[in-house]
């Protein structure tokens, strides 16, 4: 009987103590942010959307190799002998046309492993987090600045050069193999 | 079913006219809020009393171990984040220290201190989730809001130092990914000052609430011997009164330099090893974590935390088992290397998996409502169990 009333007493007292805590919180500012209207500023390091400053990209594939989920797709074409592609902002010479630099943000795991190996610091994560879309294909970000016609032309040139090189190598090889033939 | 075969239950139910109740099979989960993820438990019940509980896992299997064999050593770190996704820093730490010991790599002092600070902050964040959701399981909604409010502050600190809020990829082989910005240490100390009075709030709201005590004390008692036999670790084992904490017993990183106590359950509200004890160990551990964070913040030297990060990770052939104390218990990485670019095999010893395995042996004889309390007190994370 004594226990019965003590239990009731304890239950009421401890609930009142808890109520006291919640009551005190009635008079403090709410921690909730009214999101679409009020936006919290994210820290500069915040890892959200990837961004590539394509003018600085030298097409070295370091980021694509570092990515654990293979979401970076790069395609390059060698520059011609008398073609000057300019320099990156930290003074490295660009030798490749980066004809394709796609990042699939749907695959990205936001680990920022691609950011650190970049020799020209041209790929980095930005605090921009509002890129939800209705279509999954629009999560595929294209950074390369070449138009399809330009890419086609570059590829054709590359193929032509490769063909010419292969022919030259063939002639050279044929010239090279003549000697041993004559010896035997 | 013969009544005498039933295990002794907490409530001896008086059945009028000795009516036999039919055994019912009940599938709890995998979409059940109190199973903390996608856990399914096949319950055989005799009325309200559980006859047997059979946990079914595997709904969240993501092939971590196979992935780890196919990506380079460094690329495994983002995958370790996703094991125990509410204590990612601790997961990073275990894997990275394992690799460093294989490579015999010395780590920068500042990086070591930063690692301890973030790991302990993450431990607090993880325990806050455990506390809040435990209250939620039992029917107390308010503490959940309070703990998440304070967890948010920890996540803000993490966002500032590494840019991510949940999956950090922060602790790297040889150091950390980002050095702390000036002023970050003061913010951590401010958080410690802010946080300690809040623990009293949780105690007032939940810990010493009579209804909460009645729901948890003397429920799901795990004797120390049983806990050890099942390989339990972490707050689950310490709640049973076994002072086993790897930070003290087998210190890694620089934990041997700090003063803190191992918290164990003493059966203050009921029996040693009941749900309340396991809950209380988590509350007490938050105090200890704050102690460690303060000491580490004061001892942290200036310098460059990224100094000792190697460009290429070359792990010599061999094998190593590294175990660390994650918020859920002993997290082990068994790493086998053949000296190549990728791991030959990485086996993870997941603490939550061992902790969950005890369920089928303590569940018989309790009410269904108490099973929810038991699962909550084990604080499992399915991402780690299924990997």
DSSP letter string, B107-151: --HHHHHHHHHHHHHHHHHHHHHHHHHHHHHHT--HHHHHHHHHH
Band (pLDDT 50/70/90 cuts) for residue B6 is very low
C-alpha to C-alpha distance for B177 and B169, rounded to whole angstroms: 8
What one-character DSSP code corresponds to residue B174? T
C-alpha to C-alpha distance for A153 and B49, rounded to whole angstroms: 76
What is the secondary structure of chain A as a DSSP string?
-HHHHHHHHHHHHHHHHHHHHHHHGGGS------TTTS-PPPPTT---EEEE-GGG-----HHHHH-TT--EEEEEEEPPTT----B-TTSPBP-EEEEEEEEETTT-----TTTTT-TT--EEEES------S-GGGGEEE-----HHHHHHHHHHHHHHHHHHHHHHHHHHHHHHHHHHHH-
H-helix or E-strand containing B41?
strand B40-46
Band (pLDDT 50/70/90 cuts) for residue B334 is very high
C-alpha to C-alpha distance for B45 and B47, rounded to whole angstroms: 6
pLDDT at B95 over 80: yes
| Percentage above 90 pLDDT, chain A | 2
pLDDT for B246-276, tens place per residue?
A: 888 888 888 888 888 888 888 788 888 888 9
pLDDT for A27-84, tens place per residue?
A: 988 888 898 898 888 888 888 888 888 888 888 888 888 888 888 888 888 777 777 7
Q: Which pLDDT belongs to residue B1?
A: 42
Q: Which residue has the higher pLDDT, B19 or B75?
A: B75
Q: And the tokens for B234?
A: 């972490």
- In B272-360, beta strands by DSSP E: 318-326, 329-337, 345-349
Q: Which pLDDT belongs to residue B36?
A: 79
Q: Which pLDDT belongs to residue B121?
A: 92
Q: Which pLDDT belongs to residue A177?
A: 66
Q: Which pLDDT belongs to residue B154?
A: 92
pLDDT at A122 over 50: yes
Distance of residue A145 Cα from the nearest chain B Cα, in angstroms: 29
Q: How many helices (H) and strands (E) does chain B have?
A: 15, 8
CA torsion B210-B212-B213-B215 (nearest 10°) is: 120
Residue A69 lies in a domain: yes
Q: What is the mean pLDDT of residues B4-13?
A: 48
C-alpha to C-alpha distance for A41 and A56, rounded to whole angstroms: 28
Cβ-Cβ contacts under 8 Å, A116 against chain B: 177
Largest CA distance in chain B: 78
Distance of residue A36 Cα from the nearest chain B Cα, in angstroms: 19
> Strand, coil or helix: what is B210?
helix
Q: Which pLDDT belongs to residue A113?
A: 86
Q: Which pLDDT belongs to residue A179?
A: 57
Q: How many CB pairs under 8 A join A and B?
A: 69
pLDDT at B3 over 50: no
B206–A45 C-beta distance less than 8 A: no
Contact status of B163 with chain A (Cβ, < 8 Å) = yes
pLDDT at B152 over 70: yes
pLDDT at A101 over 60: yes
CB B40 within 8 A of CB A33: no
Band (pLDDT 50/70/90 cuts) for residue B9 is very low
Report the residue of chain B nearest A67, measured CA to CA. B75
Band (pLDDT 50/70/90 cuts) for residue B15 is low
Q: What is the mean pLDDT of residues B123-127?
A: 92
A66–B209 C-beta distance less than 8 A: no
Q: Which pLDDT belongs to residue B2?
A: 44
A110–B162 C-beta distance less than 8 A: no
Band (pLDDT 50/70/90 cuts) for residue B20 is low
| CATH number 1.10.645.10 given to B27-385 | yes
Q: How many CA atoms lie within 13 A of B22 on its CB side?
A: 3
Q: And the tokens for A67?
A: 């990515």
pLDDT for B213-242, tens place per residue?
A: 888 888 888 888 888 999 898 898 998 888
pLDDT for A12-27, tens place per residue?
A: 988 898 888 889 888 9
- Determine the distance from the C-alpha atom of residue B251 to the mean position of all C-alpha atoms in its chain, rounded to a whole number: 18
Q: What is the mean pLDDT of residues B124-131?
A: 91
Q: And the tokens for B22?
A: 């039919």
Band (pLDDT 50/70/90 cuts) for residue B210 is confident
Band (pLDDT 50/70/90 cuts) for residue A168 is confident
User: Among the residues of B169-250, which ranges form H helices?
Assistant: 184-202, 210-216, 224-229, 235-239, 246-249
pLDDT at B337 over 60: yes
Q: Which pLDDT belongs to residue B211?
A: 87
Q: Which pLDDT belongs to residue B127?
A: 92
B177–A17 C-beta distance less than 8 A: no
Q: Which pLDDT belongs to residue B18?
A: 59
Contact status of B310 with chain A (Cβ, < 8 Å) = no
Return the closest-CA partner of residue A111 out of A48, A59, A52, A51.
Answer: A48
pLDDT at B19 over 80: no
Report the residue of chain B nearest A15, measured CA to CA. B209
Using alpha carbons only, how large is chain A's radius of gyration in Å? 31
Q: Which pLDDT belongs to residue B290?
A: 92
CA torsion B81-B85-B87-B89 (nearest 10°) is: 20
A68–B75 C-beta distance less than 8 A: yes
Band (pLDDT 50/70/90 cuts) for residue B125 is very high
B159–A42 C-beta distance less than 8 A: yes
Cβ-Cβ contacts under 8 Å, A68 against chain B: 71, 75-76, 78-79
Number of domains into which chain A is organized:
1
Cβ-Cβ contacts under 8 Å, A7 against chain B: 210
Distance of residue B242 Cα from the nearest chain A Cα, in angstroms: 30
A7–B149 C-beta distance less than 8 A: no
* CATH number of the CATH domain containing A145: 3.30.70.3270
Worst-scoring range by mean pLDDT, A173-182, B162-171, B363-372? Answer: A173-182
H-helix or E-strand containing B56?
strand B49-56
- Helix %, strand %, coil % of chain B (to 5): 50, 15, 35
Band (pLDDT 50/70/90 cuts) for residue B201 is confident
Worst-scoring range by mean pLDDT, A140-144, B34-38, B333-337? Answer: B34-38
**What mean pLDDT is reported for chain B?**
86
Each domain of chain B, given as residue ranges in start order, spans 27-385
Report the residue of chain B nearest A25, measured CA to CA. B146
Distance of residue A104 Cα from the nearest chain B Cα, in angstroms: 17
- Which residues, 6+ apart, have CB-to-CB distance to B144 below 8 Å? B132, B133, B135, B136
Q: Which of A14, A31, A47 sits opposite B164 (nearest CB)?
A: A47
Band (pLDDT 50/70/90 cuts) for residue A171 is confident
Q: Which pLDDT belongs to residue B207?
A: 87
Cβ-Cβ contacts under 8 Å, B76 against chain A: 68
Report the residue of chain A nearest B70, measured CA to CA. A68
H-helix or E-strand containing B287?
helix B275-299
> Strand, coil or helix: what is B333?
strand
Bridge partner list, A87: A93
Q: Which residue has the higher pLDDT, A181 or B301?
A: B301
A17–B163 C-beta distance less than 8 A: no
- Which residues, 6+ apart, have CB-to-CB distance to B167 below 8 Å? A109, A110, A111, B78, B81, B82, B85, B88
Verdict on whether the full-model pTM lies above 0.95: no
User: What ipTM, to 2 d.p.?
Assistant: 0.79
**What mean pLDDT is reported for chain A?**
84
Residue from B74, B135, B210 whose CB has the most chain A CBs within 10 Å, to mutate = B210
B210–A15 C-beta distance less than 8 A: yes
Q: Which of B149, B167, B201 sits opposite A31 (nearest CB)?
A: B149
Domain containing A115 equals: 49-161
Residue A181 lies in a domain: no
Contact status of B162 with chain A (Cβ, < 8 Å) = yes
* Residue A77, φ and ψ in degrees, nearest 5: -130, 135
């Amino acid at each position: 009987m004594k226990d019965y009333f003590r239990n009731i007493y304890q239950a009421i007292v401890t609930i009142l103590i808890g109520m006291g805590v919640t009551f005190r919180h009635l008079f403090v500012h709410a921690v909730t942010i009214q999101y679409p209207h009020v936006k919290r500023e994210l820290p500069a390091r915040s890892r959200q959307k990837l961004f590539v400053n394509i003018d600085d990209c030298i097409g070295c594939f370091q980021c694509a190799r570092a990515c654990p989920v293979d979401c970076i797709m790069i395609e390059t074409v060698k520059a011609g002998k008398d073609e000057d592609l300019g320099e990156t902002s930290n003074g490295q010479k660009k030798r490749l046309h980066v004809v394709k630099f796609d990042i699939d943000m749907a695959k990205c795991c936001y680990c920022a492993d691609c950011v650190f190996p970049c020799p020209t610091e041209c790929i980095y994560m930005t605090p921009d987090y509002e890129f939800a879309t209705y279509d999954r294909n629009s999560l595929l970000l294209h950074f390369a600045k070449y138009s399809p016609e330009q890419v086609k032309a570059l590829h054709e040139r590359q193929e032509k050069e490769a063909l010419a090189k292969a022919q030259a190598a063939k002639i050279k090889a044929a010239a090279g193999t003549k000697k041993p033939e004559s010896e035997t | 079913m013969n009544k005498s075969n039933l295990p002794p239950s907490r409530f001896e139910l008086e059945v009028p006219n000795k009516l036999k109740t039919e055994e019912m099979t009940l599938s709890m989960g995998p979409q059940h809020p109190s199973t903390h993820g996608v856990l399914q438990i096949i319950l055989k019940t005799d009325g309200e009393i559980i006859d047997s509980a059979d946990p079914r896992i595997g709904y969240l299997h993501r092939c971590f171990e196979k992935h780890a064999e196919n990506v380079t050593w460094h690329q495994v770190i983002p995958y370790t984040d996703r094991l125990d996704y509410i204590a990612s820093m601790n997961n990073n730490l275990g894997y990275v220290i394992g690799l460093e010991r294989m490579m015999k790599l010395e780590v920068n002092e500042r990086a070591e201190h930063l690692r301890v600070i973030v790991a302990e902050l993450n431990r607090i964040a993880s325990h806050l989730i455990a506390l809040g959701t435990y209250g939620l399981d039992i029917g107390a909604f308010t503490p959940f809001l309070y703990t998440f409010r304070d967890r948010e502050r920890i996540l803000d600190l993490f966002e500032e130092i590494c840019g991510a809020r949940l999956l950090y990829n922060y602790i790297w082989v040889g150091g950390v990914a980002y050095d702390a910005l000036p002023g970050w240490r003061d913010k951590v100390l401010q958080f410690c000052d802010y946080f300690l009075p809040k623990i009293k709030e949780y105690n007032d709201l939940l810990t010493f609430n009579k209804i909460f005590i009645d729901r948890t004390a003397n429920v799901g008692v795990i004797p120390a011997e049983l806990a050890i036999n099942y390989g339990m670790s972490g707050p689950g084992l310490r709640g049973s009164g076994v002072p086993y904490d790897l930070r003290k017993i087998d210190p890694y990183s620089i934990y041997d330099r700090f003063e803190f106590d191992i918290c164990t359950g003493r059966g203050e509200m009921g029996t040693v090893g009941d749900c309340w004890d396991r809950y209380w160990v988590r509350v007490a551990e938050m105090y200890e974590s704050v102690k460690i964070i303060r000491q580490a913040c004061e001892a942290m030297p200036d310098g460059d935390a990224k100094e000792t990060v190697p460009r290429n990770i070359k792990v010599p052939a061999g094998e190593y088992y590294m175990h660390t104390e994650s918020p859920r218990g002993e997290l082990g990485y068994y790493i086998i290397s053949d000296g190549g670019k990728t791991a030959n095999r990485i086996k993870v010893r997941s603490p939550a998996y061992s902790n969950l395995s005890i369920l089928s042996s303590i569940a018989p004889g309790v009410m269904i409502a108490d099973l929810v309390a038991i699962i909550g007190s084990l604080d499992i994370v399915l991402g780690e169990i299924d990997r």
